[in-house]
Structure 1
Amino acid sequence: MAPIPKWTDPIGSDILKQIISRRVPQWPDGLRDYQLENIPRVLAGQNILVFTATGDGKSSFYDIPLLVHRVVRKPRLISAFSAIVVTPTKGLADSIIHEAKEFGLSGFSYCHDNITKYRNTDLVSSICSCTKWQLICVDPERLATPEWTTILRDKEFLKNLVLFCVEEAHLIRSWGPQFRPYFEFIGATARGFIPEGVSLVGLSATCAPGPDTLAICHSLGMFGDSYHLIRRSNERTNMQVIVDPLRRKKGVSKYAKILEYLQSGRKAVIHVNTIPDCYDIYEFLWNHVPPGTSPLHRMQMYHSLCTDDYNRETFDLIDSDSKLQVVIATVAFTLGINRKSILDSISFGFPSTLDEFWQAKGRAGRAPNVICRGIAIVPEKNIDHAKAIVRAYHESDSTSLSVPKYKSKKKTKQTDDATSTMDIGKALFLAEETCLTGNINEHYGNPPLEISRLDCKQAGRKVYCSRCALRLLYHVNRRHLLGNTNVQACGFGYWTFGN
C-alpha cells in the first residue's frame, strides 16, 4: 500500500504552490522561501514559533492554511473549518479580518460590539458550527470566559479546528504579569483544550533571544523537538531610524519638534504614551494647520476612548483619503495595524521598552518600494539618563537598573521615565552613539551578526540611520549625499507643518 502523502513532502509543497498560483493573484511571485518551508508544517498539525520583521508575511501562517482547507475540502462538500487567532487589541483583530477578505475568507472579531450585535442569536453555536466564519479573533480576557470554555469543549468545533494562533506572542511576557494578566493563561488554555494534531502557532516581530523567547516557549508548552523555531531578521531595510533629542526652549512648545517632520506632507502616525498626550498634540497641531485646510480632514486620533466606529473609520481613511496626513495614536495602533500609505512613524517620548518602540515603527513603510522613517523624539535628559544606566550596567550584570533621581530646584511632578528604572534594551538604544540600526540588530540577534551589527556604511545599507547619516555629513557634501542613488539619508531637513 502506497504511503499517504504529507504536506511536508515535496508533493505537498507542489500542491501548495499551485493553490497560491491559482487563488492568490496578488502574489505573482508566490510564497517566500521560509513560508513555503513552514506553512506545510502548520497544515501537518505541527507547532511553530515565528519571529520575523513587520511586513514579512506572518499572517500567511493562518490565512494560507485556511485558504488551502477551503480549496481541498470544497470538492468533498465539507466546508466546516475554522481557526482561532488570539489578538491583544480590537484594532489588530479588525486589520486581520480586513486582510482575510483578500483571500475570500470570512472572519469574526469576538469583541463587545459584535457580541452586542448578535445578542439575539446563539453566537456560541454559530462559532461552534465553523460554517459562518473561518477565522475567529478573540482577546485573552474573553478567551477565559465561560462562553469560550463551552466553545473549546465542543467536539464538533474541535474536530474542525485547523489551528490556534497567538498574534504578538511577545506580549505573553511583557503584558502578562501585571498589565493584562490573562495573557499568562493563553498557554494553559491551548495546552488544556486544543487537541493534538491541531497546529499551535506563535507570531511576533519583536522577541529577543534568551529569556524572552524561553518565556514564550514555556507558556505555550513548546519544549525540545515539539515545535519549530523560525527566527528571521526584523531589520527594516527601507527605514531610516532617527533619535532626535528634544531640547526645551523658553516660550516654545515641547511639541514644536513634531512640526519639523510634518511639513513634507508625508502621511505619518504620531505614537504617544497616554491618551491626554493625544489630545494635547491634537490641540497643538490644530493651531498650526495651513490656512485653507480643515483640521478635521488633516488629522485623526486613534485610542481606546474613541468609539469603535471612529477607529475603524480612521483605519479606512489612512489608505483611502489623501487629505488625511496625521494620525495621533496610543498603543492601540502599535500592534499589527497594516496600512500601506504611512511613511513616517513618530514616537513622541519613548515607550517603556524597545519592543514597543520597534513595534510602533512597523506601522510605517509597509510597501517595500518606499523609504520610510522611524523617529523617536526624546527629551535630552532621558538620553542622559540612559547613558548613566548603561555605564552602571557595564559595571554590573543586572538587567534593570536605576540611578539617583535628577534633582530640581522646583518641585514638579515627574511625568517621564527619566527618574525611574529603565529597561536595559531601551537604555542601550538611546545611548547608542555608533549605529541605531546595528543596535536593533544586536538586540534581536538578527543574522548574520558579523554584518548586521556594523554601522550603515560598513554594512552597505541603502538607508542610513541618523547616527550614521550625521557622521557621513562631515565627510560628504549634503547635496551629493541626497542625490546619491545608492545611499538614501532622508533626515536632517527643515520640516514645518504648514506656512
Structure 2
Amino acid sequence: MGSHFTFSNPSGRTLVSKILADCLPEHIIPHDDQLTCVCQLLDGVNIVAILATNAGKTGIFYMFILTVLAIRSNPALCPAAYTRYPDNAAMIIILPTVGLSEEMSENMEALGLSSIVITANSISHARMHNQPSPWSLAVSQAAMIVMSPEQLSSDAFNHLLDMAEFNTRLLALGVDEIHLIDTWGRDFRKAFKNIGAVRARLPKRVVLAAVTGTLLAVGGQTERVCHDLGLRKGHFFMLRRSNLRHDLQLQFVTLTHGLGGSTFPDFDFIVHDTERRKCIFFCPTIKLAFTLFAYFWSIAPTFPPRDKRFLLYTAANWPSHNEAIRKQMREDGDFQVLVATDAASVGLTIPGIADVHLVGIEKQTVNKLLQELGRANRDYSVRDARGRVYLPPRAVEAAKKAVADAASHTSRKNLTRKQEGALMELELAQFILATCKTAEQNRLYDNPPPTSCTCRRCIAKPPPAPRERCNCSGPNCMPLPAPPKRPTVRTTITKKDRLTPIERALADQALIDFRWSLWDCLPETSPYLPDIFISDKEKDNLLDEWVHLRDRESLAARATSPELAPHLASLLAVIISLKDDFAFRRAVWLPVHDTLLGRTKSVPDRLEAISSAARKAVESARKAATSRHEIFVTCDTVSLPCGTIPAAHVYAGVLRRTASFSASDQPSVTAVESSETARPGEETLGKEQLGSLPRGELQALARSHRVKANTRSAAIIEALCEQFPDGVPYSSSPSTPHSNKRTLADPDVASTFSRSRKVAKLA
C-alpha cells in the first residue's frame, strides 16, 4: 500500500468492510452509508451525516473506533495508515439525554468497547457509592467517553484535556442529534453552543463526526449548525440522505376536546384497543404527560395490571426508574402505552412500537415532530405502523397566520421570548398546511431520491420501498374522514326527574359503599380494586340515568362489568331503596323547602305559606302509594330573635323506617307507628318534636338566603339551626347498620339495608 493510502477509494472500503466483519457480531452488517462515513473519518475528514431515523447513525461512532483499534493491534492490515492513529485511541461522544447515553454505553460494552458515561447523575452516583470518578476512568481506561454537553464547560473536563496521557490518545469527537444545537442551544440548553468552542481546544488530528436525522435544508438551519460546530464550507464531508420513513403512515388528526383539562376522550380508543398495539404518547410538558397517564389509569380496567400496561417516562423520574422502564418495555408482554416527554424523543429504540401519537406539537418544531415519529417500528416488525399528530381546531388558523406573516416579512426580532414562543414555527406551519406531507418533507429537507444499499442484510431483507401512492393524510393523498360532529345532547330526562345535588351525593356514596362491600368479600390475595365492579365512569353514568334504572335489564345495560353481573340483584335493591327515600323526601320536604326560598316579602305571609305548604305535604305523604309513613306535625308558636313565628318548624318526619328486600327483588316496606305527639301551646320545642329536619339542609337554606341578601329569612333559619344543632336523622331508634358482610354480595341470600343516610353529613 502506498504512503498516501486513502480509505475512501474502493480498496480502502473493501479493507474497512473486512475489518468490521471480523470485529462485529454476525447480525450487525455495515450499511453503505456507514462505510462511506467511516472511511472519511479514517482519512481525517470531518463529516456531517444526515440519515433517516433507524438508519444506523450512531453506528458510525463505534465502527470507526473498532477499525482504528484493529489496525493498531495488527499493523499488517494497513501499514501505511498504522502511524496515523494513537495507541488506545479514544473518542468523546456528546449525547443529548441521559437515557440515550446509558443505552449507547450498554451497546458499546456489548461490542467489546470499554465505555464510560459522564453526566451529572453518573458523577453523583460514583460519589455516593464511593466509586472511582468517571473522569479518572476516562483518562486511560475508556475507548468511548459518552457525556452530556453540560460537561464540556466543567473544570473537570478542562483538567482532562490538560492531561497528556488523555490528550495523546484522543482521536475523534462525535456529536449526535446536531439539529438540537439550533433549537435547544438557543433556549434552555445553551451548552450545545459550546461544542464548537471546545473543538478549538482539541488536537488537530481530532476529527468530528456530526450526525442527525433532521436538519432543515431551508431557512438556513444547516448553515447555522455548521457554523456553530466550527465547520467551514468545502472543508468537511456532508452526506445527506432522504429522511423519509416509507414504513410509517403519517396522519394529522384534529382534536375534538382540549388538552387543558383532566379528561381526554379523543384517546379513549387506546384503552379499548382489542389489538393492544404498542404505542408511545409524546407530550410537550411533564404536567400534560402525567395528567394523560393518570387519565389512562383511571378509565382502564384493573386487569391486565395497569402498572405494567401504562408507563410514564419523563426527566422528573429517577434515572434508575427510567432505565427500569426501558427494560420493561423490551421484556414485559403486558406493556402497551408509554406516555413520555422529550426525554424519550431521541435515541430511544424499543422494538414493536406500532404507533406514535404526538400531542401539543403546535408550539414545537418540525424536527422534533419527525424525531418523535421516528420512534415507531424501529425493527420493521409492524406492517401498518402509524405516526399521528393531534392538533387543536385552531392550529390550522395559527399555521396560516405564520405563513402570512412570513410572506409579509413581519419581523419577530422585537418580540419577547414569551411572545415568540406563542407563534408557530414557519416550517411546521408549512408542514401542517401541505396538501401532501411527504412532498413537503422532501422540500424542507432537500431529500434526494432513495438509494439502494448493497450490504448483505439489505439485499436479504430490503427496507420498505417508496409507495406508488402516498398514504399520508394530506388532502391529495389519503385524507382521514372528518371527525363526527359532537351531537347535540337532547336528554329525555326532565329536570324534575334528575337527582338533586343532595340526592346525587347520597346515591354516589351508596354506590361507593356497595362496591366496597363486594370488594371486602374477595380473597385477601385478589389483585382487583373496588372499581372492578363499578368504575367511576359507570357510577357517574348510573347517576345521570337514575330515572331509567327500573329493572335488572336496564341496570345490566349500564353496568357492564362482568364481575358485577352476579350482584345485579343486590345493586338493584339498593337503587330501589334509595328511590323510595328520595320520593318521600320530595313529597314531604321539598314543598316546604320551596316555600322557604320563595320571594314573599312579608314575614307573616311567608309563615302562613309555610304552614299551608306543610299541611299539603303531609296530605301528599299520607296518600303516597309506595309505602305507609307515620307522620306528625307540630303547629306551635316559637319565640325566635326575629319575632314570634307560628308553624315555622312545620315538618313531616319519619321516626323510624326500615326496608327489607328478598331475593326476588320485590321491596317490602313497613312503617313503625310513633307514640310521639305534639304538645300544643309550648313556646319552645324539643328535638323530638321537630321530626327529621336535617341540619345540613337548614344550613344550605341559610347560605342561600344570605346570597340573596334576605337577612330576615336567613335569621329565621339560622335560629332553627342553633336550636337544633345536630339535626334529626331519619331514624330515631337504633337500626341495622350498613352491612358489609358476605350476605350482601351473595345473590342467593336476602340483602337488608337500613338507610340512615344523613344529609347532615354534607354540612
Does the alignment reach a TM-score above 0.5? yes
Query: Which residue of the other structure, out of 186, 198, 204, is the alignment partner of 2:212?
Result: 204
Q: Tell me if structure 2 keeps the 8 A contact 1:299–1:324.
A: yes
Q: Tell me if structure 2 keeps the 8 A contact 1:91–1:332.
A: yes
What whole-Å deviation, never above 9, does each CA across 1:288-312 have from its counterpart, x for those lacking one?
A: 2235221101011111111111100
* Shift in CA distance, 180/253, structure 1 to aligned 2, threshold 3 Å: closer
SS of corresponding position for 1:380: coil
**Which residue does 1:495 correspond to in 2?**
none
Q: In structure 1, how many angstroms separate the alpha carbons of the residues matched to 2:242 and 2:68?
A: 30
SS of corresponding position for 2:299: coil
SS of corresponding position for 2:124: helix
Q: Given the alignment of the two structures, is residue 104 of structure 1 paired with residue 112 of structure 2, yes or no?
A: yes
SS of corresponding position for 1:116: helix
* Shift in CA distance, 14/62, structure 1 to aligned 2, threshold 3 Å: same
Deviation, structure 1 residue 54: 0.5
Q: Given the alignment of the two structures, is residue 370 of structure 1 paired with residue 392 of structure 2, yes or no?
A: no
**Which residue does 1:487 correspond to in 2?**
none
**Which residue does 2:5 correspond to in 1?**
5
**Which residue does 2:150 correspond to in 1?**
141
**Which residue does 2:168 correspond to in 1?**
159
Q: Tell me if structure 2 keeps the 8 A contact 1:165–1:200.
A: yes
Q: Tell me if structure 1 keeps the 8 A contact 2:280–2:357.
A: yes
Q: In structure 2, how many angstroms separate the alpha carbons of the residues matched to 1:465 and 1:223?
A: 38
Deviation, structure 1 residue 42: 1.0
**Which residue does 2:246 correspond to in 1?**
237
Paired AA for residue 105 in structure 1: L
Deviation, structure 1 residue 356: 1.0
Paired AA for residue 424 in structure 1: L
Q: In structure 1, how many angstroms separate the alpha carbons of the residues matched to 2:479 and 2:109?
A: 46
**Which residue does 1:446 correspond to in 2?**
447
| Matched pairs, number | 448
Q: In structure 2, how many angstroms separate the alpha carbons of the residues matched to 1:272 and 1:312?
A: 19
Q: Given the alignment of the two structures, is residue 336 of structure 1 paired with residue 335 of structure 2, yes or no?
A: no
**Which residue does 2:751 correspond to in 1?**
none
Paired AA for residue 264 in structure 2: Y
* Shift in CA distance, 461/312, structure 1 to aligned 2, threshold 3 Å: farther
What whole-Å deviation, never above 9, does each CA across 1:61-87 have from its counterpart, x for those lacking one?
A: 2010122133233347x8622111111
**Which residue does 1:489 correspond to in 2?**
none
* Shift in CA distance, 402/385, structure 1 to aligned 2, threshold 3 Å: farther
* Shift in CA distance, 128/226, structure 1 to aligned 2, threshold 3 Å: same
**Which residue does 1:396 correspond to in 2?**
408
| 316-325 or 111-120, larger mean C-alpha shift | 111-120
Q: In structure 1, how many angstroms separate the alpha carbons of the residues matched to 2:276 and 2:379?
A: 18
RMSD: 3.0
Q: Where in structure 2 are the equivalents of 1:459-498 lying within 5 Å? A: 460-461=467-468, 464-467=471-474, 470-471=478-479
| 328-337 or 462-471, larger mean C-alpha shift | 462-471
Q: Tell me if structure 2 keeps the 8 A contact 1:67–1:103.
A: no
Q: Where in structure 2 are the equivalents of 1:406-421 lying within 5 Å? A: 420-421=422-423
Q: Tell me if structure 2 keeps the 8 A contact 1:41–1:47.
A: yes
The answer to which structure, 1 or 2, has the higher relative contact order (CA under 8 A, 6+ apart) is 1
Q: Where in structure 2 are the equivalents of 1:216-235 lying within 5 Å? A: 216-235=225-244
**Which residue does 2:333 correspond to in 1?**
322
Q: Tell me if structure 1 keeps the 8 A contact 2:352–2:382.
A: no
- TM (normalized to structure 2)? 0.55
Paired AA for residue 256 in structure 1: P
**Which residue does 2:124 correspond to in 1?**
116
Deviation, structure 1 residue 253: 6.7
Paired AA for residue 302 in structure 1: Y
SS of corresponding position for 1:83: strand
Q: In structure 2, how many angstroms separate the alpha carbons of the residues matched to 1:248 and 1:419?
A: 23
Q: In structure 2, how many angstroms separate the alpha carbons of the residues matched to 1:419 and 1:122?
A: 40
Paired AA for residue 44 in structure 2: G
**Which residue does 2:138 correspond to in 1?**
127
| 167-176 or 113-122, larger mean C-alpha shift | 113-122
Deviation, structure 1 residue 26: 3.8
Deviation, structure 1 residue 222: 0.9
Q: In structure 1, how many angstroms separate the alpha carbons of the residues matched to 2:120 and 2:179?
A: 25
**Which residue does 1:478 correspond to in 2?**
none
Paired AA for residue 361 in structure 1: L
Deviation, structure 1 residue 338: 1.6
Q: Which sections of structure 1, spanning at least 5 residues, go unmatched? A: 404-415, 450-458, 475-497
What whole-Å deviation, never above 9, does each CA across 1:348-407 have from its counterpart, x for those lacking one?
A: 2215111111111111111235332111111111222213333443x424586999xxxx
SS of corresponding position for 2:222: helix
Query: Which residue of the other structure, out of 272, 293, 298, is the alignment partner of 1:287?
Result: 298
Q: Which has the larger radius of gyration?
A: 2
Q: In structure 2, how many angstroms separate the alpha carbons of the residues matched to 1:399 and 1:56?
A: 38
Q: In structure 1, how many angstroms separate the alpha carbons of the residues matched to 2:231 and 2:393?
A: 42
Paired AA for residue 196 in structure 1: K
Deviation, structure 1 residue 343: 1.8
Deviation, structure 1 residue 417: 9.7
Q: Tell me if structure 2 keeps the 8 A contact 1:169–1:202.
A: yes
Q: In structure 2, how many angstroms separate the alpha carbons of the residues matched to 1:471 and 1:382?
A: 17
Q: In structure 1, how many angstroms separate the alpha carbons of the residues matched to 2:342 and 2:3?
A: 50
**Which residue does 2:578 correspond to in 1?**
none
Q: Which sections of structure 2, spanning at least 5 residues, go unmatched? A: 76-85, 451-465, 483-560, 563-763
Paired AA for residue 14 in structure 2: D
SS of corresponding position for 2:379: coil
Deviation, structure 1 residue 153: 2.1
Q: Given the alignment of the two structures, is residue 72 of structure 1 paired with residue 85 of structure 2, yes or no?
A: no
* Shift in CA distance, 425/255, structure 1 to aligned 2, threshold 3 Å: same
Q: In structure 2, how many angstroms separate the alpha carbons of the residues matched to 1:366 and 1:8?
A: 30
**Which residue does 1:456 correspond to in 2?**
none
* Regions of 4+ moved over 6 Å: 399-403, 416-419
Q: Tell me if structure 1 keeps the 8 A contact 2:54–2:378.
A: yes
Q: In structure 1, how many angstroms separate the alpha carbons of the residues matched to 2:254 and 2:400?
A: 13
* Shift in CA distance, 231/128, structure 1 to aligned 2, threshold 3 Å: same
SS of corresponding position for 1:174: helix
Deviation, structure 1 residue 180: 1.3
Q: In structure 1, how many angstroms separate the alpha carbons of the residues matched to 2:298 and 2:239?
A: 48
Paired AA for residue 162 in structure 2: R
Q: In structure 2, how many angstroms separate the alpha carbons of the residues matched to 1:128 and 1:114?
A: 16
Q: In structure 1, how many angstroms separate the alpha carbons of the residues matched to 2:40 and 2:410?
A: 39
**Which residue does 1:380 correspond to in 2?**
393
**Which residue does 1:63 correspond to in 2?**
62
Q: In structure 2, how many angstroms separate the alpha carbons of the residues matched to 1:378 and 1:292?
A: 31
Q: Given the alignment of the two structures, is residue 349 of structure 1 paired with residue 392 of structure 2, yes or no?
A: no
* Shift in CA distance, 256/473, structure 1 to aligned 2, threshold 3 Å: closer
**Which residue does 2:427 correspond to in 1?**
425
Paired AA for residue 319 in structure 1: R
Q: Tell me if structure 1 keeps the 8 A contact 2:178–2:211.
A: yes
SS of corresponding position for 1:46: coil
Q: Tell me if structure 1 keeps the 8 A contact 2:97–2:148.
A: yes
Paired AA for residue 345 in structure 1: V
Identity of aligned residues (%): 26
* Shift in CA distance, 68/373, structure 1 to aligned 2, threshold 3 Å: same
Paired AA for residue 367 in structure 1: D
Q: Where in structure 2 are the equivalents of 1:186-197 lying within 5 Å? A: 186-191=195-200, 193-197=201-205
Q: In structure 1, how many angstroms separate the alpha carbons of the residues matched to 2:114 and 2:175?
A: 19
Paired AA for residue 435 in structure 1: C
Q: In structure 2, how many angstroms separate the alpha carbons of the residues matched to 1:164 and 1:81?
A: 12
SS of corresponding position for 2:293: helix
**Which residue does 1:47 correspond to in 2?**
46
* Shift in CA distance, 285/113, structure 1 to aligned 2, threshold 3 Å: same
Q: In structure 2, how many angstroms separate the alpha carbons of the residues matched to 1:6 and 1:419?
A: 48
Q: Tell me if structure 1 keeps the 8 A contact 2:8–2:39.
A: yes
Query: Which residue of the other structure, out of 267, 277, 283, is the alignment partner of 1:266?
Result: 277
Q: Tell me if structure 2 keeps the 8 A contact 1:402–1:420.
A: no
Q: In structure 2, how many angstroms separate the alpha carbons of the residues matched to 1:253 and 1:431?
A: 29
* Shift in CA distance, 171/399, structure 1 to aligned 2, threshold 3 Å: farther
